[in-house]
Amino acid sequence: MSRSLYMVGMTKDDRAGETESPPAPSDDAGRTGAESADSLLALQLVASVVSRAPELSRALNAVLDRLLALATADIGAIHLLDDASGELCLAASRGLSETFRVHECRIPIGTCLCGLSVTMDEPLVVDDLATDPRFSRTACREECVGSWVGVPLRSRDRTLGILTLYARECGAFQTIDRRLLTTIGDQLGVAVENARWYAAMRESAVAEERAAIAAELHDGIAQSLAYLNVQTARVQELLERGETAGVRQELAAVREVIRDTYQDVRQLLVDFRNAPKEGGEFASSLRAHLDTFGLRTAIKTDLVGDGVLRDLSLLQQAEVFRMIQEALANVRKHAKASRVRVVCDRTPTIVEVRVEDDGCGCESARFNDPTGTHLGLALLRERATRLRGTVQLTSTPGGGTTIVIGVPRGGDDEGSAP
């Protein structure tokens, strides 16, 4: 493979004088073209590997495989900065001995060449490690390497880690293209930052789903279990008094609560199974959920104007879907409705989703009070706030209920990746 990380035609003397004066203009168009093509190839290889690998650790190891070949290096490592401890933590490696891996898995900033290089803005090249006093850690010296290059991984003026390449022979990196290394380091820095952002988003999504499950359990299952606890104690008292008729009546009520709780659990599982998937069609997922809801509850369902839902981003779709699920759960538990409609509309600035039922209604002031303690309804308000949107309930006793969800059109996903 072509030595794509090296300055074409450079000698040791060229490298020695590189920082003192600019290189003389060259008339060799072929050489310049070859250098540009090789540099572009190196960047394309790194970008291709980073974009395809689904996990950061796999991406970093794959990049090392490429770079070792491009730089004709013997050993490679990538350490990422742990802000909490102030240490560099080994994230990927190729060619390291087990002793080196064990002793160099964590390197304090400012220690040895790796710890010093991470504080710099540009790549650092050492031609003869044996004579460099900065090469101080015992495990490094015992690795028997001759030359070394360290490349900070940077993104948005922050250093996130360091890429290091080692060669057995001295002077192996004298003609390496430092500017190209800087660009590769910046590419890897952006990849690391994006991977961390996506991981944080996944953790946030998991936390939100746990909150949704907790609210659902509290509103339904936990209250049912509390009721069953009271009722079984009541049955025990009736048995002790020999009131068999009362026992039969209480057991019938217990069976009804158990049946309803079982349905709650099944519906909760359906709600999470029917959530829209990335790359899927939001309207199709919503329509499938409404069909399932209708079959399980015998409540007639309609979906109107679902084409406007395409105006929502993926994050907005996920939140709005959960809000509709929560609204339908309230219909199932409390409304005693025979029909529910989900009506989608839009204005120049917002997408509006209305969940309308023909049930028994309620006092809307209790919901629209932001200090209300009903967890299911509080969850609707929290999700709307995350989307910089609104949610309002209108209802009168005996006149049905309408929940109106408003979400800004064309808004970027909250916390978008850098």
For the segment 398-412, what is each residue's pLDDT rounded down to a tens digit? 999 999 999 998 654
Cα(13)–Cα(248) distance, integer angstroms? 100
122-126, 228-232, 269-273, 301-305: least confidently modelled range: 269-273
- Other C-beta atoms closer than 10 Å to the C-beta of 410 total 11
Could you tell me the CA-to-CA distances from 120 to 11, 105, 131, 132 in Å, in that order?
25, 21, 21, 17
- DSSP β-ladder status, 147-155 and 158-167: antiparallel
- DSSP β-ladder status, 300-304 and 339-346: parallel
| CA 334 to centroid of chain Cα atoms | 35
24-38, 71-85, 103-117, 306-320: least confidently modelled range: 24-38
pLDDT at 409: 87
Query: Which has more confidence, 186 or 53?
Result: 186
Token duo for residue 131: 């004579």
Average pLDDT, integer, range 38-57: 64
pLDDT above 70 covers what percent of the chain? 76
> Hey, is 233 helix, strand or coil?
helix
Q: What angle do CA 90, 40, 93 make, to 5 degrees?
A: 15
Query: Which has more confidence, 192 or 13?
Result: 192
pLDDT at 4: 57
**Terminal C-alpha separation, the chain:** 34
Average pLDDT, the chain: 80
Helix 178-216 and helix 244-273: axis angle, to 10°? 160
pLDDT for residue 229 is more than 60: yes
Sequential DSSP letters for 161-212 = EEEEEEESSTTTTTTB-HHHHHHHHHHHHHHHHHHHHHHHHHHHHHHHHHHH
pLDDT at 262: 82
pLDDT at 30: 47
The HSE-up count of residue 133 (CA atoms within 13 Å, CB side) is 0
pLDDT at 301: 96
Average pLDDT, integer, range 68-73: 85
Cα(249)–Cα(266) distance, integer angstroms? 26
pLDDT at 191: 85
Helix 314-330 and helix 282-297: axis angle, to 10°? 10
pLDDT at 375: 52
Superfamily of domain covering 285-418: Histidine kinase-like ATPase, C-terminal domain (3.30.565.10)
121-125, 153-157, 235-239, 361-365: least confidently modelled range: 361-365
pLDDT for residue 33 is more than 70: no
> Hey, is 301 helix, strand or coil?
strand
> Hey, is 82 helix, strand or coil?
strand
Superfamily of domain covering 12-21+28-197: GAF domain (3.30.450.40)
pLDDT tens digits, residue range 349-403?
999 999 999 999 987 666 666 555 555 677 788 888 888 999 999 998 999 999 9
Q: Which residue has the tokens 């939001």?
A: 282
Report CA Rg, the chain.
32
Cα(328)–Cα(334) distance, integer angstroms? 10
Token duo for residue 397: 């006793």
pLDDT at 303: 96
The amino acid occupying position 395 is S
Residue 111 φ/ψ region, left for φ over 0, alpha for ψ in the -120 to 50 degree band, beta for the rest? beta
pLDDT band at 19 (very low <50, low <70, confident <90, very high): very low
pLDDT tens digits, residue range 174-197?
888 888 888 888 888 888 888 888
Query: Which has more confidence, 34 or 112?
Result: 112
pTM of the model: 0.51
pLDDT for residue 167 is more than 70: yes
Cα(217)–Cα(275) distance, integer angstroms? 18
The structural domains of the chain, with segments of one domain joined by +, span 12-21+28-197, 285-418
* Maximum C-alpha span of the chain: 110
Question: Is residue 92 within 8 Å of residue 60, measured between CB atoms?
Answer: yes
Average pLDDT, integer, range 12-18: 41
pLDDT for residue 69 is more than 50: yes
Tell me the residue ranges of DSSP E strands in 83-186: 87-94, 106-108, 124-126, 147-155, 158-167
Cα(410)–Cα(193) distance, integer angstroms? 25
pLDDT band at 271 (very low <50, low <70, confident <90, very high): low
pLDDT at 256: 85
pLDDT for residue 44 is more than 50: yes
> Hey, is 415 helix, strand or coil?
coil
